[in-house]
Each structure stands twice: as C-alpha cells, then as structure tokens.
Structure 1
Amino acid sequence: MGNTFSTYKIDDRSLIAFIKREIHNLALQIGFTPHRAAETDIIVAELTSNLIKYANGGELLYRAHFESEQNQIEIYCLDKGVGFENVAKIMNDGYSSSNTLGHGLGSIKRLSNDFQIYSIKNWGCVQYVKICEKPDFQLPSLKTGLSYAAIAVNYPGEKLCGDGYYVKNSSKGFQIFVGDGLGHGESANEAVELAMKVFKQTIEWDPVEILREIHTRVKKTRGLVATIASVDYKSEVWTVCGIGNINTRIYNGLENKTYTPYNGIIGHNIPRTLNNTIVPYKKHQIIIMHSDGLRTRWNLNDLTSILKHTPGIIAASLFKENIRGTDDATILTGKIN
C-alpha cells in the first residue's frame, strides 16, 4: 500500500476480467472478507463495463489505503464520453440510458462507503468510489480547517514514483509539501522520499527554512523541486515558498492567483535569497498544487459548478484533462472548511 494509484486504460472488454482479478486480490490482501471482496468485484465490473458501453473506454485508477482505522480501496473512473445532464437522476435504481435495467450506479452507491459523480454534457465523467473493509463504516464528518485529496501516478512502466506529497496537521495549523524528484524511477523516488522524511521530522514552520534544511540533506541525491505551503491559524495567513516547477494556485471563489516558485534544484543549486509569499487565509479557499506531469494551462472556472465538489473530484477532473503521460504526475487539492 502506498500513496500512488495504479492506472489502466480501459478500451476493450477483455481487460475487465483482468482488472477485476487485480483489485479482488488486492482487497483480500489488505484484509477484506471474501464477501466484501465479492462486493468490490461488482463495483469494478459496473464501472469498467459502463466505460466500454457508454464512453468508448476510459481510465481506471485505484489504490489500497489505510485511513480512519479502516483498510480501504479507492477508485477513480475517468472518461471523455457524452456525460450526463442530471447526475441525481442517474443515481437512482431503475434509471437507464440504454434500455437496460439501470441498477448499475444504484448498486455501486449501495455497496460502497462513498460514491461521487461529476459530469458535464459532452465533456465526460469523473466517478469516485471508496470501499471500506466494513460495509457499514460511517466516514467521519469534515472538520474545520483543511480537507484534501491527492492523485499520484507513476511514469508509465515504472514501479516507483518520483513525485511525493505530505500534509502535516497540528493545533497551530497545517503544512503541505509537494515535490518532484528529477527524472523518474528509483533515483527520483530516493530524492523525494528523503525530502519528505526531512519535512515530516522538522520542527521548522517557515517554508524557506524547511526548503533550506531539505536542500542540505538531499545533496547526495539526484535532487528535486518542491513547494511548501503553511497555514498558521492564529495569524490567519498562508506562507508559501517553492523552488522549481511545482504549480501552486489558491482560489478565492472564482478568482485565483498562481504563486511563482524560484528557479533552482533542491540539493544542487538554490537561490541565495529566498522569501515567502504571504497570502490571507480564508474559509472556502481552494489550493491546488501539482507537478509538471500535468499541463498548467487550465482554469477551474471552465468546469461547471466544480467548486462545490470535493477535493478528490476536483483533482480527478483536472487530472483527466491535463495529464501528460510522459512523467510521474501528482495533483493535490485542498479545501478550507
């Protein structure tokens, strides 16, 4: 289990049995009962068969995850099909767009612990499913402060991810790290993992000082780029600093600002002078941070009503439209409650 998602392009019905078996075995491996694993099979079968039937294929991302004292499987299902105009309507059992019984999405909703859909007509669809080992487990309600979700995938063919992210919470506030080791594969992974270790252990709060500490500690690695964003609840400000091409934006409603990082490579050459950017911290803000595995020319305002959706749906929608497919890719989205 780890932070990264496995990903499969689903463009042929013959792949469905293979992916069902992969996720079934993963479910058993993390402690799901055979019955719960069988329910997971039904969910995967519905998601993947719908991709073939209605969207001419798409992409399935999945991972095993441990959160809230529960082993979980998380799945994102992405497509560029015709989409839906009325998501609430299609979630009801009995609805069908092709004269079938139409129980598919209703059964996914019943068998999962969390099921969300975002869709725009002629844009496609993003579906998110969370399956916990206990079918009746109630997900904890959102607390004040930061709620976030992240999607990270390896460079195609690599077993290790050269990107990394981590969020630290305390009574003082929270800190977010997003980094990208140079290149991809084992050497990039070594650099970003060491950087995250330093980030987890440091008692520093100031992003500039943390970046300098990481720089000193990773000099024997390939190096990386990274951005750190900290929030202090008492002073009600964001403090942001980055070196290299991690894209960072903070949305205040429909308005947003991109925070430009410094040029350099952490572990090799960083500017002598580094300064934090200070930004007011407000409720309902959205922060988005991603590596250069995603294109940067996107705008949330192009996605109808996306701001009201969860961080995971926002991250997956941007991932669907902007993944390059030529590098590791990570996107982290946070919402202030």
Structure 2
Amino acid sequence: DHGPGIPDVAAALRDGYTTAAASLGAGLGTCVRISSAFDLYSVRGRGTVVMARIDQEPVTHRAETGHHHRLGGINAPLAQAAHSGDSFAWVRSGPRLTLMLADGLGHGAKAATASDAAVDELHRSAHLPPEQILRHLDGALRTTRGAAVAVAQLDTDTHRLGFAGVGNVGARIRTGDSWQPLVSHPGIVGAHFPARVPVQHLAWSRDSLLVLHSDGLPSRWTPPEDTDLLGHDPAVVAATILRDAGSAARPLRDDTSVAVLAPDRRAGAHDRRT
C-alpha cells in the first residue's frame, strides 16, 4: 500500500496489538502462524508490503556449491482482469538456474495463452543456453499471437549470468552499489524472431540482484537503493518496485509483472522460515 507505514513492526505482529478500536489485532499474527513463509517490509511515510506464502516447497534453489538463491515476483493484470498476458517462471537443470519473463502481445486470454506457452516450453528447454531457449520458444509460440521474452540463466558452478531478450521487456542487475541495464533485442518471439540474439554475460556475486520486468513498468522506474529492502524475499522486492513505480492515484496502464533473482543472504535460510 501507499499508507503511512508501520512504526513498530515487532509490536504489530503480536496478537492483540491494534490501532483501530474495531479490530481484534489478530490479523498479522495469524498470517505468520499459518503461512509457510512470511515477510513484511514497511517504511514510515511510504507504505507497507506484506507477503504470506502457503506452499509445500520454499522458493529457494540450493546449488551444489552450497550457495542458495531465492526467486519471486508479482504479476498484476490490467484493471484486475481475469487474465494477465504476462507470465514468469524459473526452472533448475543441473547447475543452471533459469528465470524467464514473457509478455504476451496485447491483453486478455489470447495474450495469456502466448505467455503460458512460453512457460510450458521453458520446462522442456531449460537445459539449453539462453539464446537456444529463445529459439525453442519462438517455435512453440508460432500458433499464438507471440510475446516479448527475457531469459536469464545463472550457472551456479561458474557464477556467471547469461541474459538474452527479444521484444519490449526490461532487465536490470545490481552488483555492489550500482545498477546496470540489460538490453533486449527488437522482435517478437513467435512472430518476428531476429536472425541473431545477442547474449550478455556477467559475473554473479553474493551481492548481486536481478530484476526482470514487462513494459507495464514505466521505462524510467527508479531501482531501489534501500539495502534493507534488498535483503527481503524477492516477491516483496518485486512488489515494492511495482508499487514505487506508480502511485495510488496512477493505476497500471498494462499487465505488469516483475521477477527477482537474488542470493539468499539469510543465515541458515534453507532450513528456517523467512
């Protein structure tokens, strides 16, 4: 939300704490207890983002090197429609961890069909490098209206990230204290695929963070600099980026998705809650 923020998060999570006379003060505490993962990020004067996840498996990838990576995101359909033309997914194949974001052309069910087809094909081709994955996606999307697609693949053995994109999708990577944009090639996966797809190769370190997003996010969005936020669950980071790119008075102009890949900076995070 774009609210006033929570002055004392620890107090707000305790049962019985409330700032409203008509509330029992049991909401956040209950969310913590019944969720398999819970995270909350709040800044006074800017608002609060809360994530409660209920699932059987945490969204954490552990490489053979012992390094952990977390992935998450948010997908917001235009005008709260039943279908979003955006999709994102991640797949593990040996040391390769691949994150893909697809933006089906237009809106509605047909756009969703295109991005869903991209997700299905990713699960069949995640063993391939990024440019070959995109070529497989192009074949799989030929019967759809097509999509803009970004593919980022992390080799957890060599700590190298490969990125390739076709169409109007965006990406930025943070290493240390600086952000660097990653460039997608013009074209449409499934309709007008380029003859050559450039691949960018970058070093990946324990302080890196990758953001993929569809064009629903304004092109001049400001990357977050709050180091406290960057240590939160990637879904919370993605939701905060989406919130801060707009305002309560300026609704989304398109289906919008943001996906985040980050090292897991929590001590012992693979065997305890967020």
Say whether the fold is shared (TM-score over 0.5): yes
Residue aligning to 1:280: 203
Report the Cα offset of residue 102 of structure 1. 4.2
Residue aligning to 1:18: none
SS at match of 1:213: helix
Rounded to whole Å, the distance in 1 between the matches of 2:101 and 2:149 is: 6
SS at match of 2:148: strand
The amino acid of 2:172's aligned partner reads R
Sequence identity percentage: 26
- Change in Cα spacing, 1:109 to 1:145, as seen in structure 2 (3 Å) is closer
Q: Is the 8 A contact 1:205 1:230 kept in 2?
A: no
- Change in Cα spacing, 1:327 to 1:90, as seen in structure 2 (3 Å) is same
Structure 2: tracts of 5 or more residues without a match:
265-274
Deviation readout 1:130-170 (Å, 9 max, x if unpaired): 346xxxx8969874332111211323263322111121112
2:3 maps to 1:85: no
2:153 maps to 1:226: no
Segments ≥4 residues shifted beyond 6 Å: 137-142
Rounded to whole Å, the distance in 2 between the matches of 1:142 and 1:167 is: 10
The amino acid of 1:88's aligned partner reads A
Q: Let me know the Cα RMSD of the aligned residues.
A: 2.6
TM-score w.r.t. the length of structure 1 is 0.68
Residue aligning to 1:3: none
SS at match of 1:160: coil
SS at match of 1:315: helix
2:113 maps to 1:194: no
Report the Cα offset of residue 203 of structure 1. 6.0
Residue aligning to 2:257: 330
Q: How many residues align?
A: 254
Q: Greater shift after overlay, 91-100 or 143-152?
A: 91-100
- Change in Cα spacing, 1:309 to 1:292, as seen in structure 2 (3 Å) is same
Rounded to whole Å, the distance in 2 between the matches of 1:125 and 1:295 is: 21
Q: Is the 8 A contact 1:163 1:181 kept in 2?
A: yes
Rounded to whole Å, the distance in 2 between the matches of 1:90 and 1:242 is: 42
- Change in Cα spacing, 1:162 to 1:120, as seen in structure 2 (3 Å) is same
Report the Cα offset of residue 270 of structure 1. 2.9
Report the Cα offset of residue 299 of structure 1. 1.6
Q: Is the 8 A contact 1:120 1:304 kept in 2?
A: no
The amino acid of 2:5's aligned partner reads G
- Change in Cα spacing, 1:217 to 1:313, as seen in structure 2 (3 Å) is closer
Rounded to whole Å, the distance in 1 between the matches of 2:213 and 2:127 is: 23
Report the Cα offset of residue 326 of structure 1. 2.4
The amino acid of 2:252's aligned partner reads G
Residue aligning to 1:207: 130
Report the Cα offset of residue 261 of structure 1. 0.6
TM-score w.r.t. the length of structure 2 is 0.82
SS at match of 2:79: coil
Report the Cα offset of residue 182 of structure 1. 0.4
Residue aligning to 1:270: 193
Residue aligning to 1:314: 237
Rounded to whole Å, the distance in 2 between the matches of 1:197 and 1:269 is: 20
| Structure with larger RCO (C-alpha < 8 A, sep 6+) | 2
Q: Is the 8 A contact 1:150 1:312 kept in 2?
A: yes
- 1:135-154 to 2 correspondence within 5 Å? 143=62, 144-154=67-77
Rounded to whole Å, the distance in 2 between the matches of 1:275 and 1:140 is: 29
Rounded to whole Å, the distance in 2 between the matches of 1:83 and 1:311 is: 20
Rounded to whole Å, the distance in 1 between the matches of 2:258 and 2:207 is: 19
Report the Cα offset of residue 118 of structure 1. 0.9
SS at match of 1:325: coil
Rounded to whole Å, the distance in 2 between the matches of 1:319 and 1:147 is: 18
Report the Cα offset of residue 110 of structure 1. 3.5
Of the candidates 70, 88, 107, which is equivalent to residue 165 of structure 1? 88
Structure 1: tracts of 5 or more residues without a match:
1-78
Rounded to whole Å, the distance in 2 between the matches of 1:243 and 1:292 is: 12
Rounded to whole Å, the distance in 2 between the matches of 1:177 and 1:140 is: 15
Q: Greater shift after overlay, 80-89 or 120-129?
A: 80-89
Report the Cα offset of residue 125 of structure 1. 0.9
- 1:46-195 to 2 correspondence within 5 Å? 79-98=1-20, 102-131=25-54, 143=62, 144-156=67-79, 158-195=81-118
Residue aligning to 1:247: 170
Deviation readout 1:164-211 (Å, 9 max, x if unpaired): 112111222211111101001122122222222222212652211221
Q: Between Structure 1 and Structure 2, whose CA radius of gyration is higher?
A: 1
2:224 maps to 1:300: yes
The amino acid of 1:210's aligned partner reads I
Rounded to whole Å, the distance in 1 between the matches of 2:103 and 2:13 is: 38
